Amino acid sequence: MNELIFFFNNVVVSGLVLGSIYALGAIGVTLVFGILRFAHFAHGDMMTMGGFVAFLLASLFAAWGLTLPVPLGFAVLPLTFVITAALALGIDKGFYAPLRARGAKPVTLLIASIGVTLIIQGMIRLFFGTGTYNFFEGAPKELYRIEVPLEEATRTINFSQPQVLLLLVTVVTVVALHLFLTRARLGKAMRAMADNADLAQVSGINTALVVRVTWIIAGGLAALAGTMLALDVTLKPDLAFNILLPIFAAAIVGGLGQAYGAIAGGFLIGFAETAAIFNWSILLRPFRDALPEFIEIPNNLALVPTEYKLTVAFIILVITLLARPTGIFKGAST
Amino acid sequence: MTPLVELDNVVAGYGGAPILNGINIEIHASDIGVIIGPNGAGKSTALKSIFGLLQVTGGAIRFDGEDITNRLPDALVPLGLSFVPQERNVFTSMTVHENLEMGGFIRDDDLSGTLSEIYDMFPDLKAKRHQNAGELSGGQRQMVAMGRALMSRPKLLLLDEPSAGLSPRYMMEIFEQVVRINKTGVGILMVEQNARQALGFASKGFVLASGQNRFTGTGQELLDDPEVAKSFLGG
């Protein structure tokens, strides 16, 4: 029983946490691709940027002596969303919009976004240095332990407070996004433009407005993901750059341009990664005595060593592209 | 009386050599204008030049007397122009109903009146309004495309080969609806391959060749003209 709880904590809980981060990031990547038709490489750094915005705000409020029952980093999320969305709009206006106006090809925009990546990382290092920051200086993170009502269970199912808040943020975001895309006039216009940009223009849809809304959503969600990731682990200048590749894999696996696909792809890759690095021999140990003597359970039965976790996303990506090149939800072909 | 739309010696193309070499078209609100001509004559280009989809380098286009040369579509739709492209003219991943709503994007008032008018006009669509437009047959897609264009309550409807690839049954239905739409006071300018049928109900016909006007007259005059018949209507 304890082994099962260990499995639950390490695969299910971690998978949910990682999947939520990937999903929130991949939604932004996929929306930007759907509307502007280029792979936005700076998306990971937009997430990191959001994390630092939240950290600045939280430090500011902490300096004013504000204390709340939830972490300050979480409390400042709405403001962080707004500020990061504004920064995303500024980045578009400063770097991508002038290129679009000259009819730049998607690959040019992609290269420009690599430049933006370097700029954001450079700025963060310039102002914050290369060190790591913790939202919970001094005070430890609150841990929720759920007792399993079984006699032989001595371990508990554990969620840290930031993890619970992250799952909450993800659920609220997904529901809000669904309502926006299916009910709101602008949300439908976004889907229309991703479906057929020429026809959207011919229909009189204000495509410049749709582009702005796309950056607000992509930047805002990046801020949520970055902040929640920083709350769960720690904040550092390459926080989300390191997970940019699984986020892209999630967007592609789900089908580029498909918001629901990005969510599914995010959780698929999140769970696959945690399952792949899990030491499965732990689950076999209770059966040790029942096995014949010549079968010995190895100490480590993980599918891939932890340091090669990133390869899991690529294996899934390769299989998807071979079997279903447009992704699970039939997005743009890549 | 000012014509609804007027192309005055229009020269236009896609950046290279011009495709239209000075064409003249005039349509009133009561007109159904049909543009016919061989492939490459510039028929679709003429429609696109009105709708700001390519660069007009000479002449002028006027709508209700106002110069609209080289204005972009999102500025033209609010004026009362609407365009149905020949291909890729529906949002395939969206429902029929959502397609129609997108046609009314520029309107801030209640869409329900216009929506029910369009469902009355195309009863097939009402039954399928919650299906994705990508799942419909070619004829039904064309109805969605026309319905979408009508949602902005245009004064002028531009149709690029509305009967292309349709069965005779759907072709007749589309043509009947074109006549009915025109009777509600919407001017029509359309490009058509099925020239004989289209000239049959056209109040104005324009024969284009090599980007220039070759013959202009009422639909009946063009049908009766032996030279038009010989060269452009297949004898």
Cα B47 from Cα A197, distance rounded (Å):
19
B102: closest CA of chain A, how far (Å):
7
Is residue B128 a part of any domain in this protein?
no
Is residue B201 a part of any domain in this protein?
yes
Looking at residue A332, its pLDDT comes to: 62
- Show residues of chain B in contact with A205, CB under 8 Å: 74, 102, 105
Is residue B17 a part of any domain in this protein?
yes
List, for residues B3-49, the tens digit of each pLDDT value. Answer: 999 999 999 998 888 999 999 999 999 999 999 999 889 999 999 99
A252: closest CA of chain B, how far (Å):
18
Interface ipTM: 0.93
- Residues 6+ positions from B191 with CB-CB distance below 8 Å: B34, B35, B36, B43, B44, B46, B47, B86, B159, B160, B161
CB-CB contact of A20 with A88 (8 Å) = no
Domain that holds residue B213: 1-80+156-162+187-235
Is the Cβ of B9 closer than 8 Å to some Cβ of chain A? no
Mutate to test the interface with B, among A199, A205, A260, A330 (most CBs of B within 10 A): A199
Is the Cβ of A184 closer than 8 Å to some Cβ of chain B? no
A69: closest CA of chain B, how far (Å):
44
Q: Who has greater pLDDT, A301 or B204?
A: B204
Looking at residue B191, which CATH number applies to its domain? 3.40.50.300
- Show residues of chain B in contact with A192, CB under 8 Å: 91, 94, 98, 102
Cα A316 from Cα A249, distance rounded (Å):
8
**Closest to A324 measured CA to CA, from A245, A259, A261, A246:** A261
What's the number of domains chain B is made of?
A: 1
Mutate to test the interface with B, among A202, A206, A213, A258 (most CBs of B within 10 A): A202
Cα A224 from Cα A183, distance rounded (Å):
23
Which of B 10-39 lie inside 8 A of A, CB atoms?
A: none
List, for residues A278-293, the tens digit of each pLDDT value. Answer: 888 888 877 777 777 7
Chunk chain A into consecutive blocks of 10 residues (it has 334) and report each block's average pLDDT, rounded to whole numbers.
Answer: 85 94 96 95 96 96 86 94 98 96 94 97 95 82 83 82 94 96 95 94 94 97 96 92 93 92 95 91 79 75 85 91 85 54
Looking at residue B79, its pLDDT comes to: 95
Looking at residue B235, its pLDDT comes to: 55
Is residue B111 a part of any domain in this protein?
no
Tokens matching residue B99: 């397609």
Tokens matching residue A250: 């999630």
Looking at residue A7, its pLDDT comes to: 87
CB-CB contact of A207 with A200 (8 Å) = yes
List, for residues B47-84, the tens digit of each pLDDT value. Answer: 999 999 999 999 999 999 999 999 999 899 999 999 99
Is residue B136 a part of any domain in this protein?
no
Is residue B9 a part of any domain in this protein?
yes
Mean pLDDT across B193-202: 92
B63 three-state secondary structure: strand
Q: Has residue B226 got a pLDDT over 80?
A: yes
Is residue B105 a part of any domain in this protein?
no
Is the Cβ of A191 closer than 8 Å to some Cβ of chain B? yes
Cα nearest neighbour of B147 on chain A: A203
A203 three-state secondary structure: coil
Is A202's CB within 8 Å of B85's CB? yes
Is residue B116 a part of any domain in this protein?
no
Mean pLDDT across B152-168: 94
Cα torsion A269, A29, A122, A112 to 10°: value is 130
Looking at residue B141, its pLDDT comes to: 95
- Residues 6+ positions from B22 with CB-CB distance below 8 Å: B9, B10, B11, B58, B59, B211, B212
Domain spans, chain A: 2-124+160-288+295-323
Looking at residue A334, its pLDDT comes to: 41
Beta strands in chain A (DSSP E): 143-147, 156-160
Tokens matching residue B86: 């020949």
Number of H helices and E strands in chain A, helices first, is 15, 2
